[in-house]
Amino acid sequence: MNKIAAIILLLICSLQLYGQKNMNQEPYPYGNPVITHMYTADAAPKVMPDGRLWMVTSVDHKDGGGYSTMHALHAFSTDDMVNWVDHGEILGINDFDVPEGEDWAIWAPDIIYRNGTYYLYFPMRNKLKDGKIDRYVAVAESDRMDKRFTITNPRMKGVERAGLDPSVFIDDDGVAYLYWNQALMGELTEDMREIKGEMFKLDYGANNFMEAAWMHKRNGKYYYNYHTRYNGKVAPSNPNDSERKKSHLDYSMGDSPKGPLKHMGVINYELGYNTIGGPKMPNQEYVPWRLTQSNHGAVVEYHGQEYFFYHTSALSSWRHDKFKERGVWTQRSVCVDSLNYRADGSVIPVQQTVKGVDKVIINQAFGVTLNRKDAITENADIKRRYFLAQNEDIIKFENVDLGSGYYYFEVEFEATEINSKIEVRKGSPNGLLMGTLLLNSRVLTANNGISQTFLREANGLNDIYLIIKSEGDTKVKFWKPRFFAGSPKKLKI
């Protein structure tokens, strides 16, 4: 009987760890998490060219089973930060030819748009027949966010070392970087499919990195957040035990995406720490999911407010027993709360809530075209249908109203033999660099003669400066300069 009892106890413990049937089907009563019809984790949010905020997530299985059962990536979008649309699975384990006897899983992804293509980066965790674990990063691409992606690089070179949690970042000068596990990073090639040169370790000013790297930029400063190493389970009687290393998200900041960075402290405390509102664990003063550990964060700015994406087991706790227990930490759900800063640029740690964020209302045009008749320049030629300029020429547009924010800029252009660029600045010729257009044959072919760039801090009433960067006397011919993605497009039903 003792053996039988031990087996039963083991099965009960396994269910608590890896998942239980979702017996409670009543509507989830709070605003966080934001997706409540399925389990989602590891959100990667980005503003896309349609002006909507999209996120790609990994998926935890509804019946549990742990991280090895993560077999899909889903896409969601919102136009107001409150109401989310599920666009379905964009990549899954069936897109791979998994050998018989092996167990493959897809973990935390990231996504980015560049010149007509959406690039999806995701880590594979493959258990081989001999029991060994193979980890690496793959790339998939699509011309739309709401349709299935095609794998274009099944295994990135240069990311062999513990390829986990890839995070992609394009700086305002047009250079793209990939960050991943062990605080490793590298510059991406222009086709966004490989690492250019050798990877290297980012100096982030500390020695507590575990996983979940994410880079964002604000006011010229670079912010790198990550999940810290932790030890020990959260004790119900003392969840804030000072002797236990916490499952925090820390951050470092500095003046270069390649480091060195200064470690600044916590950006997001453990899940459920000091959460405002919500249910309490029976006989305790904290929310039930305070006792779970899994932290993964991402940052995005949308019309004047920065948002922090993370995940908790709140939905799992509700589905299993209406908040009587902690839920399961491998059944996670994406939450969103505001991210704010002090005057010196340091981060105020995220205040986790069950309410979530307020609805965003956007009242402005989708695009703002810069009219040739309004252009001011000393050296560039303004023709009837186009601009003709060369290296260091400056074209100015006065009093351009960018409202609460425009997230992309584009021009149509004619091919040149020399690679050229157009810097998009505001305030002065040496003012804030919001983004950089690449003018070369690859972009011309890939995006039908249009060069586009993501923009940061393109808001308010400003003088706009287009600064031409080319070699020698090379002439750059372009037309139809336009800001766009200033308001979200409605979805076609």
Domain holding 466: CATH number? Answer: 2.60.120.260
Q: Residue 129: how many CB atoms within 10 A of its CB?
A: 10
- 344 part of a folded domain: yes
Taking Cα atoms as reference points, which of 159, 134, 138 lies closest to residue 149? Answer: 138
- Look at residue 63 in the predicted model and tell me its pLDDT: 84
Tokens of 253: 């900041």
- Look at residue 415 in the predicted model and tell me its pLDDT: 80
Region 71-81 average pLDDT: 98
Is there a single domain that holds both residue 224 and residue 319?
yes
- 363 part of a folded domain: no
Is there a single domain that holds both residue 387 and residue 332?
no
- Look at residue 493 in the predicted model and tell me its pLDDT: 66
Last residue of a domain, one of 318, 348, 378: 348
Tell whether the model's pLDDT for residue 12 goes beyond 70: no
pLDDT in tens, 330-376: 999 999 999 999 999 999 999 999 999 999 999 999 999 999 999 99
How many Å apart are CA 330 and CA 18, to the nearest integer?
6
**Residue 87 lies in domain:** 20-348
CA distances from 405 to 23, 235, 304, 409, 461 (A): 44, 45, 7, 12, 10
Is there a single domain that holds both residue 342 and residue 377?
no
- Look at residue 371 in the predicted model and tell me its pLDDT: 96
- 3 part of a folded domain: no
- 187 part of a folded domain: yes
Region 164-172 average pLDDT: 97
**What is the chain's mean pLDDT, rounded?**
93
- 193 part of a folded domain: yes
Is there a single domain that holds both residue 257 and residue 380?
no
Tell whether the model's pLDDT for residue 8 goes beyond 50: no
Is there a single domain that holds both residue 453 and residue 328?
no
Tell whether the model's pLDDT for residue 159 goes beyond 90: no
Tell whether the model's pLDDT for residue 14 goes beyond 60: no
Q: How many structural domains is the chain composed of?
A: 2
Strands (E), 79-233: 84-92, 103-106, 110-114, 117-127, 133-142, 150-153, 167-170, 176-180, 184-188, 195-201, 209-218, 221-228
Region 209-229 average pLDDT: 98
Residue 139: give its domain's CATH number: 2.115.10.20
Is there a single domain that holds both residue 416 and residue 308?
no
Tell whether the model's pLDDT for residue 45 goes beyond 80: yes
- Look at residue 390 in the predicted model and tell me its pLDDT: 93
Is there a single domain that holds both residue 81 and residue 159?
yes
Q: Counting Cβ atoms within 10 Å, is residue 48 exposed (0-12), middle (13-18) or buried (19+)? A: buried
Is there a single domain that holds both residue 304 and residue 381?
no
Is there a single domain that holds both residue 316 and residue 251?
yes
Last residue of a domain, one of 316, 348, 380: 348
pLDDT: is 277 or 459 the higher one? 459
- Look at residue 158 in the predicted model and tell me its pLDDT: 82
Region 411-425 average pLDDT: 90
Tell whether the model's pLDDT for residue 274 goes beyond 90: yes
Is there a single domain that holds both residue 200 and residue 294?
yes
Per-residue pLDDT band for 281 (boundaries 50, 70, 90) equals very high
Region 237-252 average pLDDT: 95
Per-residue pLDDT band for 9 (boundaries 50, 70, 90) equals very low
- 113 part of a folded domain: yes
- Look at residue 433 in the predicted model and tell me its pLDDT: 98
- 179 part of a folded domain: yes
- Look at residue 472 in the predicted model and tell me its pLDDT: 82
The string over 407-432, giving b where at least 16 C-beta atoms fall within 10 Å of a residue's C-beta and e elsewhere, is bbbbbbbeebeebbbbbbbbeeeeeb
State the pairing for strand pair 133-142/117-127.
antiparallel
Is there a single domain that holds both residue 422 and residue 374?
yes
- Look at residue 163 in the predicted model and tell me its pLDDT: 80
Cα distance from N-terminal residue to C-terminal residue, the chain? 60
Q: Which of 17-31, 335-349, 430-444 bottoms out in mean pLDDT, i.e. has the lowest?
A: 17-31
With vertex at residue 431, the alpha carbon angle to CA 429 and CA 433, rounded to the nearest 5 degrees, is: 100
One-letter amino acid identity for 148?
R
Tell whether the model's pLDDT for residue 5 goes beyond 60: no
Upper half-sphere CA count for residue 470 (Cβ side, 13 Å): 23
pLDDT in tens, 174-206: 999 999 999 999 999 999 999 999 999 999 999
Tell whether the model's pLDDT for residue 48 goes beyond 80: yes
- Look at residue 103 in the predicted model and tell me its pLDDT: 93
- 248 part of a folded domain: yes
What SS3 class is residue 8? helix
Last residue of a domain, one of 315, 348, 381: 348
Tell whether the model's pLDDT for residue 15 goes beyond 80: no
Tell whether the model's pLDDT for residue 451 goes beyond 50: yes
Is there a single domain that holds both residue 297 and residue 383?
no
Cis preceding-peptide flag for 260 (omega within 30 of 0): yes
